[in-house]
């Protein structure tokens, strides 16, 4: 798939191998780059997710799914060549906390296409998080036949 920032300045996404674009059934692979200071939204999903940091360093902010809302997130440093996994349904945010370098990650998710629930902040109740489906980069592929889930 082509590269785009999907309206987010300092961000780049490429679907390397996708369900809607390439007929993948079990996993999907993305290549994403975050400019200095850039973040994903706070979000959760019920699929598994693995990150491999190809370039740069940053911070993974990880909330909890055990209480009514995500709560004060843990701050987990991530750096080049490290790999991290996101527990299913835990709200999280990837943040390029470096001021100079890009953060580039390879992202592998299970059970595409992804259903992302977005939070305004860490105190928003889980039940109030908003579903964005299909997600922005999957909207590009809507004309492709959809897999039954
Ligand atoms: C990551 O791996 C590459 C290739 O092996 C190496 O050149 C680089 O120094 C490593 N970076 C870190 C921070 O360990």
Domains of the chain, CATH where assigned: 3-138 (2.60.120.10)
| pLDDT tops 90 at residue 146 | no
80 CB within 6 A, ligand 1: yes
What is the Å distance from ligand 1's center to 61 Cα? 24
| pLDDT tops 80 at residue 117 | yes
| pLDDT tops 90 at residue 113 | yes
Query: How much is the pLDDT for 30?
Result: 97
User: 21 in the Ramachandran plot: left (φ > 0), alpha (ψ -120 to 50) or beta?
Assistant: alpha
Pick from 45, 30, 128, 121: nearest CA to 87: 45
83 CB within 6 A, ligand 1: no
Q: Angle at Cα 128 formed by Cα 39 and Cα 112, nearest 5°? A: 60
pTM assigned to the model: 0.91
pLDDT in tens, 11-60: 999 999 998 888 999 999 999 999 999 999 999 999 999 999 999 999 99
Where are the extended beta strands (E) located within the chain?
11-17, 27-34, 42-44, 49-55, 57-62, 74-79, 83-86, 92-95, 103-110, 116-119, 130-132
The sheet with strand 130-132 has its strands ordered as 74-79, 57-62, 92-95, 42-44, 116-119, 130-132
What is the Å distance from ligand 1's center to 35 Cα? 20
Kindly report the protein residue whose alpha carbon is nearest to atom 13 of ligand 1. 80
């Amino acid at each position: 798939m082509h590269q785009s920032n999907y309206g987010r300045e300092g961000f780049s996404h490429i679907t390397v191998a996708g369900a809607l674009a390439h007929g993948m059934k079990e996993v999907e692979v993305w290549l994403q780059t975050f400019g200095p200071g850039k973040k994903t939204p706070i979000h959760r999903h019920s699929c598994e997710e693995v990150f491999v940091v190809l370039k740069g360093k940053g911070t993974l902010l990880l909330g909890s799914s055990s209480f009514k809302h995500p709560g004060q997130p843990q701050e987990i440093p991530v750096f080049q060549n490290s790999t991290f996994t996101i527990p299913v349904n835990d709200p999280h945010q990837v943040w390029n906390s470096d001021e100079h370098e890009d953060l580039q990650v390879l992202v592998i998710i299970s059970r595409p296409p992804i259903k992302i629930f977005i939070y305004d902040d860490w105190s928003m109740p889980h039940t109030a998080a908003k579903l964005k489906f299909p997600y922005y980069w999957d909207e590009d592929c809507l004309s492709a036949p959809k897999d039954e889930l």
